[in-house]
């Protein structure tokens, strides 16, 4: 009997100890995965992307890299790394194994070093566009030979003292070249197929902050000379560009004082059309900001990349995280982070996607990290795409699988809720839509449900009221007659 009791005591003790000693399954990634709830507060979520490989220059077989500024992945899985500090371009395959090193190119019969390359673009025909910032030109290289260069354009739109220092390049589906020039506040430079300058494209607008309004007021009372002495207010430059298959130009912005619309989707007129379904501007990065030295650290996006299926990836310099959103601005995944461990970055500068993998280049750590989607991440992407294509029932089934892995997913609740609305099951839909925090859809579903309820019970309620009215009328008549009779 006594032995038995000791046994029970031991079992209880071990269970209690388990609770207090913090025995748990160790997390696999070195960063937190999260998503945002309807109050824009972060809540835990399973990892969507996991780091699968990280390689620096030595491991890739090309010798150490020195502050690489950009890289580009072409359609065949070849990765062109602008090894800026070593004045060369390193070509790797999709598994980061060395294919080729380009140290110099032939130009007009002479060998020219590939010095100070800050931006790269490679076409399907393996024509390399390399931005030589210090040399103020863009080299167009075909088979190791410079075919053409783009230099400071001659145009009435361009002031005499304009310095053409190209940093990033993007080509749209028609072959037009978009160039980002350092210190140019008028937007992207747009070149036609034949290399002629077409004009500036999609300038950032000046952010209206308290400082701007204050300066504006001052300027209205100062003299011209005093006004000239004041610092002029300029819009913030773009940090990177990417052109999508459907003809839109995506841009990212660093160092803003407002977190809204840091990633822009520019239509051919140069206007931002990247909004939520409710036509609102939104934060591409984090909703919660951290403070240091009395200042808010807003996200600062250094690169943006659009995948063929429409998902947008952008890397945030402030937090070292990569954010993935869909075309309506819904947060699909957050991964990476600042740090020195596997899967974290110190200064990420570029992001590329190939098939379902995400490649991130780190300027300070001189390495490339490859992320692959987890089962959960792939499910979220699949469900989003199915829903976008109008396959509500199919997407609902996938969203249910997502929900089984993450009960915090407002996207999943929303997807299931909207599928239920499509099938006419409004009462059930209301439950899911409420969890998703989508008041607009909830209101619509609520209205339809209300109509059904009124149609179902409306007649009975009206009949009951009529009957009640009749009864009261009869009672009054009876009482009146009784009174008359008494008299």
Partner 1 sequence: MKNKKTATNPFYTIMHPFDCSYDIRYKGRGNLYFSVIILLVFFLVSVFQRQSTGYIFNNNKLSDLNTPLKFVGVILPFVLFVISNWVVSILFNGTGRFRDIWIYSAYCCVPYIIGNFAAVLLSNVLVMEEPFGEYVQIFGAAWSLIILFIGLMVMHEYNFTKNLFGCLCTIFIMFILFFLIMLLGSLASDLYGFVMTIAKEIMFRVS
Tokens of 95: 């598994």
Is 400 one of the binding residues for partner 1 (CB under 8 A)?
no
Is 106 one of the binding residues for partner 1 (CB under 8 A)?
no
Q: Which is nearer to partner 1, 70 or 438 (CB)?
A: 438
For residue 210, the number of C-alpha atoms closer than 13 Å in the C-beta half-sphere is 0
Q: Which is nearer to partner 1, 447 or 473 (CB)?
A: 447
**405-434 positions binding partner 1, by CB under 8 A:** 434
Smallest separation (angstroms) from partner 1 to the CB of 95: 48
**Sign of torsion over alpha carbons 275, 278, 280, 285:** negative
In angstroms, the CA 352 to CA 338 distance is 18
Is 442 one of the binding residues for partner 1 (CB under 8 A)?
yes
Using CB under 8 A, which of 340, 443, 459, 477 touches partner 1? 443
Rg of the chain taking only CA atoms, in angstroms: 31
**How far, in Å, are 222, 253, 299 from residue 316 at the CA level?**
40, 10, 6
Is 275 one of the binding residues for partner 1 (CB under 8 A)?
no
Is 440 one of the binding residues for partner 1 (CB under 8 A)?
yes
Smallest separation (angstroms) from partner 1 to the CB of 362: 39
Q: Which is nearer to partner 1, 439 or 480 (CB)?
A: 439
Smallest separation (angstroms) from partner 1 to the CB of 442: 6
Using CB under 8 A, which of 447, 458, 469, 473 touches partner 1? 447
Residue 23: CB partners within 8 Å, gap ≥ 6?
none
Smallest separation (angstroms) from partner 1 to the CB of 38: 9
**How far, in Å, are 164, 313, 345, 378, 411 from residue 31 at the CA level?**
40, 18, 11, 19, 22
Tell me the three state secondary structure of residue 311.
coil
Binding map of partner 1 across residues 22-61, x = CB under 8 A, - = no contact: -----------------x----------------------
Nearest C-alpha neighbor of 244 from the set 299, 311, 336 = 311
Selected range binding partner 1 among 230-238, 438-446, 458-466, 475-483, rule: CB under 8 A: 438-446
Using CB under 8 A, which of 106, 260, 439, 480 touches partner 1? 439
Smallest separation (angstroms) from partner 1 to the CB of 429: 13
For residue 6, the number of C-alpha atoms closer than 13 Å in the C-beta half-sphere is 3
In angstroms, the CA 7 to CA 15 distance is 12
**Sign of torsion over alpha carbons 418, 402, 35, 284:** negative
Each residue of 272-304: b (16+ CB within 10 Å) or e?
bebeeeeeeebbbbbeeeeeeeeeeebbbbbbb
Q: Which is nearer to partner 1, 290 or 440 (CB)?
A: 440
Is 446 one of the binding residues for partner 1 (CB under 8 A)?
yes
Is 450 one of the binding residues for partner 1 (CB under 8 A)?
yes
Smallest separation (angstroms) from partner 1 to the CB of 396: 22
**How many chain residues are in contact with partner 1, going by CB under 8 A?**
10
Residues that bind partner 1 (CB under 8 A): 39, 434, 439-440, 442-444, 446-447, 450
């Amino acid at each position: 009997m006594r032995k038995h009791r000791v046994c029970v005591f031991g079992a209880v003790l071990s269970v209690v100890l388990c609770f207090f000693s913090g025995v748990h399954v160790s997390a696999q990634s070195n960063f937190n995965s999260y998503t945002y709830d309807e109050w824009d507060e972060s809540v835990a979520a399973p990892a969507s992307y996991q780091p699968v490989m990280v390689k620096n220059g030595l491991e890739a077989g090309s010798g150490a890299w020195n502050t690489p500024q950009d890289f580009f992945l072409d359609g065949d899985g070849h990765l062109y790394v602008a090894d800026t500090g070593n004045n060369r371009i390193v070509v790797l395959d999709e598994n980061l194994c060395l294919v080729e090193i380009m140290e110099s190119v032939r130009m007009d019969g002479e060998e020219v070093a590939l010095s100070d390359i800050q931006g790269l673009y490679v076409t399907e025909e393996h024509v390399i566009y390399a931005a030589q910032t210090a040399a103020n030109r863009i080299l167009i290289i075909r088979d190791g030979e410079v075919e053409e260069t783009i230099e400071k354009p001659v145009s009435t739109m361009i002031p005499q003292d304009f310095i053409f220092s190209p940093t990033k390049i993007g080509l749209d589906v028609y072959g037009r070249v978009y160039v980002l020039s350092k210190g140019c506040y008028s937007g992207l430079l747009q070149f036609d197929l034949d290399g002629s300058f077409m004009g500036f494209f999609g300038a950032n607008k000046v952010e209206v902050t308290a400082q701007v309004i204050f300066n504006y007021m001052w300027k209205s009372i100062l003299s011209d000379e005093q006004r000239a002495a004041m610092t002029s207010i300029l819009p913030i430059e773009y940090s990177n560009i990417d052109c999508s298959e459907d003809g839109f130009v995506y841009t990212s912005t660093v160092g803003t004082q407002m977190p809204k619309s840091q990633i822009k989707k520019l239509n051919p007129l140069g206007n931002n059309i990247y909004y939520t379904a409710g036509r609102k501007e939104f934060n591409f990065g984090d909703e919660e900001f951290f403070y240091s030295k009395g200042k808010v650290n807003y996200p600062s996006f250094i690169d943006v990349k659009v995948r063929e299926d429409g998902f947008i990836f952008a890397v945030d310099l402030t937090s070292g995280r990569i954010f993935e959103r869909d075309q309506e601005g819904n947060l699909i995944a957050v991964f990476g982070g600042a740090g020195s461990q596997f899967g974290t970055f110190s200064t990420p500068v570029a992001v590329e996607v190939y098939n379902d993998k995400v490649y991130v280049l780190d300027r300070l750590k001189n390495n490339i990290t490859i992320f692959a989607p987890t089962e959960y991440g792939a499910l979220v992407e699949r469900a989003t795409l199915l829903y976008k294509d109008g396959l509500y029932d199919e997407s609902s089934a996938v969203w249910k699988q997502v929900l089984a892995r993450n009960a915090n997913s407002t996207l999943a609740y929303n997807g299931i809720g909207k599928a239920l609305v499509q099938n006419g099951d409004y009462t059930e839909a209301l439950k899911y839509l409420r969890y998703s925090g989508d008041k607009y859809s909830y209101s619509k579903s609520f209205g339809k449900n209300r109509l059904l309820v009124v149609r179902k019970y409306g007649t009975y309620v009206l009949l009951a009221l009529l009957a009640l009215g009749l009864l009261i009328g009869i009672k009054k008549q009876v009482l009146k007659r009784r009174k008359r009779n008494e008299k």
